[in-house]
Homo-oligomer: A and B are copies of this chain.
Protein backbone atom coordinates (compact mmCIF):
# COMPACT_ATOMS: atom_id res chain seq x y z
CA UNK A 1 0.00 0.00 0.00
CA UNK A 2 1.40 3.29 -1.14
CA UNK A 3 2.17 6.00 1.38
CA UNK A 4 0.58 9.36 0.79
CA UNK A 5 1.63 12.57 2.42
CA UNK A 6 -0.25 15.84 2.60
CA UNK A 7 1.10 17.02 -0.75
CA UNK A 8 -0.03 13.85 -2.51
CA UNK A 9 -3.50 14.21 -1.07
CA UNK A 10 -3.74 17.79 -2.20
CA UNK A 11 -2.65 16.85 -5.70
CA UNK A 12 -5.33 14.15 -5.78
CA UNK A 13 -7.90 16.57 -4.52
CA UNK A 14 -7.06 19.06 -7.24
CA UNK A 15 -6.94 16.53 -10.07
CA UNK A 16 -10.18 14.80 -9.22
CA UNK A 17 -11.94 18.15 -9.39
CA UNK A 18 -10.21 19.34 -12.54
CA UNK A 19 -7.96 17.00 -14.45
CA UNK A 20 -6.97 19.85 -16.75
CA UNK A 21 -5.06 21.65 -14.02
CA UNK A 22 -1.54 22.12 -15.32
CA UNK A 23 1.45 21.00 -13.34
CA UNK A 24 2.51 24.61 -13.08
CA UNK A 25 -0.82 25.62 -11.58
CA UNK A 26 -0.69 22.83 -9.02
CA UNK A 27 2.91 23.68 -8.22
CA UNK A 28 1.87 27.28 -7.64
CA UNK A 29 -0.88 26.31 -5.24
CA UNK A 30 1.38 24.02 -3.28
CA UNK A 31 4.43 26.28 -3.35
CA UNK A 32 6.63 23.79 -5.10
CA UNK A 33 8.39 23.61 -8.42
CA UNK A 34 7.00 21.58 -11.30
CA UNK A 35 9.35 18.62 -10.92
CA UNK A 36 8.07 17.21 -7.64
CA UNK A 37 4.47 17.64 -8.78
CA UNK A 38 5.19 15.89 -12.04
CA UNK A 39 6.94 13.00 -10.34
CA UNK A 40 4.32 12.64 -7.65
CA UNK A 41 1.56 12.47 -10.24
CA UNK A 42 3.42 9.77 -12.17
CA UNK A 43 3.90 7.86 -8.95
CA UNK A 44 0.20 8.12 -8.10
CA UNK A 45 -0.71 6.92 -11.58
CA UNK A 46 1.64 3.93 -11.40
CA UNK A 47 0.35 2.99 -7.96
CA UNK A 48 -3.18 3.04 -9.31
CA UNK A 49 -4.40 5.68 -6.89
CA UNK A 50 -5.17 7.71 -9.98
CA UNK A 51 -7.05 5.17 -12.03
CA UNK A 52 -7.73 7.19 -15.15
CA UNK A 53 -8.68 10.55 -16.57
CA UNK A 54 -12.08 11.01 -18.15
CA UNK A 55 -14.32 13.64 -19.64
CA UNK A 56 -17.68 13.86 -17.89
CA UNK A 57 -20.47 14.44 -20.37
CA UNK A 58 -23.91 15.92 -19.79
CA UNK A 59 -26.29 12.98 -20.32
CA UNK A 60 -29.32 15.22 -20.82
CA UNK A 61 -27.74 17.05 -23.72
CA UNK A 62 -27.07 13.68 -25.28
CA UNK A 63 -30.67 12.63 -24.96
CA UNK A 64 -30.27 10.37 -21.94
CA UNK A 65 -32.90 11.78 -19.66
CA UNK A 66 -33.80 8.81 -17.53
CA UNK A 67 -31.91 7.25 -14.67
CA UNK A 68 -33.45 4.17 -13.11
CA UNK A 69 -32.48 1.88 -10.26
CA UNK A 70 -33.33 -1.76 -10.67
CA UNK A 71 -33.33 -4.22 -7.79
CA UNK A 72 -32.97 -7.77 -8.95
CA UNK A 73 -33.30 -11.06 -7.12
CA UNK A 74 -32.01 -14.23 -8.67
CA UNK A 75 -33.14 -17.82 -8.30
CA UNK A 76 -29.96 -19.84 -8.41
CA UNK A 77 -27.12 -18.61 -6.19
CA UNK A 78 -24.39 -21.00 -7.24
CA UNK A 79 -21.19 -19.24 -8.15
CA UNK A 80 -21.41 -20.17 -11.82
CA UNK A 81 -24.97 -18.94 -12.18
CA UNK A 82 -24.23 -15.70 -10.41
CA UNK A 83 -21.17 -15.04 -12.52
CA UNK A 84 -23.06 -15.82 -15.71
CA UNK A 85 -25.77 -13.42 -14.66
CA UNK A 86 -23.33 -10.63 -13.82
CA UNK A 87 -21.45 -11.08 -17.05
CA UNK A 88 -24.63 -10.62 -19.06
CA UNK A 89 -25.85 -7.65 -17.09
CA UNK A 90 -22.63 -5.64 -17.08
CA UNK A 91 -22.32 -6.10 -20.82
CA UNK A 92 -25.27 -3.77 -21.41
CA UNK A 93 -24.18 -0.23 -22.17
CA UNK A 94 -27.30 1.10 -20.47
CA UNK A 95 -26.09 -0.32 -17.17
CA UNK A 96 -23.71 2.18 -15.63
CA UNK A 97 -23.53 0.54 -12.20
CA UNK A 98 -23.98 -2.98 -10.97
CA UNK A 99 -23.58 -3.89 -7.32
CA UNK A 100 -24.00 -7.16 -5.54
CA UNK A 101 -25.89 -6.00 -2.47
CA UNK A 102 -27.14 -7.08 0.91
CA UNK A 103 -30.84 -6.96 1.72
CA UNK A 104 -33.95 -8.41 0.08
CA UNK A 105 -32.60 -8.30 -3.42
CA UNK A 106 -29.31 -9.56 -4.76
CA UNK A 107 -28.29 -6.89 -7.23
CA UNK A 108 -28.76 -3.21 -7.64
CA UNK A 109 -28.33 -1.73 -11.11
CA UNK A 110 -28.23 1.87 -12.17
CA UNK A 111 -29.24 2.35 -15.77
CA UNK A 112 -29.11 5.40 -17.99
CA UNK A 113 -31.46 5.68 -20.94
CA UNK A 114 -33.28 8.07 -23.23
CA UNK A 115 -36.74 7.86 -21.71
CA UNK A 116 -39.43 5.61 -20.29
CA UNK A 117 -40.08 3.96 -23.61
CA UNK A 118 -36.48 3.00 -24.05
CA UNK A 119 -36.52 1.81 -20.48
CA UNK A 120 -39.44 -0.45 -21.14
CA UNK A 121 -37.77 -1.71 -24.27
CA UNK A 122 -34.54 -2.34 -22.39
CA UNK A 123 -36.21 -4.32 -19.62
CA UNK A 124 -38.41 -6.31 -21.97
CA UNK A 125 -35.93 -7.10 -24.69
CA UNK A 126 -32.59 -7.17 -22.95
CA UNK A 127 -32.75 -7.46 -19.19
CA UNK A 128 -35.63 -9.84 -18.57
CA UNK A 129 -34.20 -12.11 -21.22
CA UNK A 130 -31.24 -12.81 -18.98
CA UNK A 131 -31.72 -16.20 -17.26
CA UNK A 132 -31.99 -16.66 -13.52
CA UNK A 133 -34.00 -13.57 -12.60
CA UNK A 134 -36.70 -14.17 -10.02
CA UNK A 135 -37.73 -10.65 -9.08
CA UNK A 136 -37.22 -7.25 -10.65
CA UNK A 137 -38.18 -3.94 -9.08
CA UNK A 138 -37.58 -0.50 -10.55
CA UNK A 139 -37.36 3.02 -9.17
CA UNK A 140 -36.90 6.09 -11.28
CA UNK A 141 -34.81 9.09 -10.49
CA UNK A 142 -37.19 12.05 -10.54
CA UNK A 143 -34.29 14.43 -10.13
CA UNK A 144 -30.60 14.03 -9.56
CA UNK A 145 -29.62 16.22 -6.63
CA UNK A 146 -26.01 15.15 -6.42
CA UNK A 147 -23.74 12.97 -8.50
CA UNK A 148 -20.00 13.06 -8.07
CA UNK A 149 -16.93 10.89 -8.39
CA UNK A 150 -15.10 12.68 -5.62
CA UNK A 151 -13.39 10.52 -3.08
CA UNK A 152 -13.37 12.74 -0.07
CA UNK A 153 -9.89 13.48 1.14
CA UNK A 154 -8.90 15.16 4.34
CA UNK A 155 -6.34 17.77 3.33
CA UNK A 156 -6.20 19.64 6.58
CA UNK A 157 -2.95 20.35 8.43
CA UNK A 158 -0.86 17.62 10.06
CA UNK A 159 1.51 15.35 8.23
Contacts and interface: CB of A to CB of B under 8 A. Distances in A.
The quantity of this chain's copies bound in the complex is: 2
Q: How large is the interface on A (under 10, 10 to 19, 20 to 34, 35 or more residues)?
A: 35 or more
Given A112-B151, A150-B93, A101 B61 contact: no
Contact of A69 (B49, B53, B108): B108
Contact of A102 (B15, B101, B142): B142
A89 to B, nearest CB: 8
Contact of A56 (B54, B57, B153): B54
A146 B54 contact: no
A61 B48 contact: yes
Q: Which of A67, A143, A145 has most chain B Cβ within 10 Å?
A: A145
Interface in A59-101: 59, 61-62, 64, 67, 69, 86, 89-90, 93-101
A144 interface: yes
B62 A99 contact: no
A47 B152 CA distance: 29
- Smallest CB-CB A-B distances: 6 pairs: A93-B152, A15-B55, A98-B146, A99-B141, A103-B139, A90-B146
Interface of A: 1-2, 4, 12, 15-20, 47-59, 61-62, 64, 67, 69, 86, 89-90, 93-103, 105, 107-108, 112, 137-153
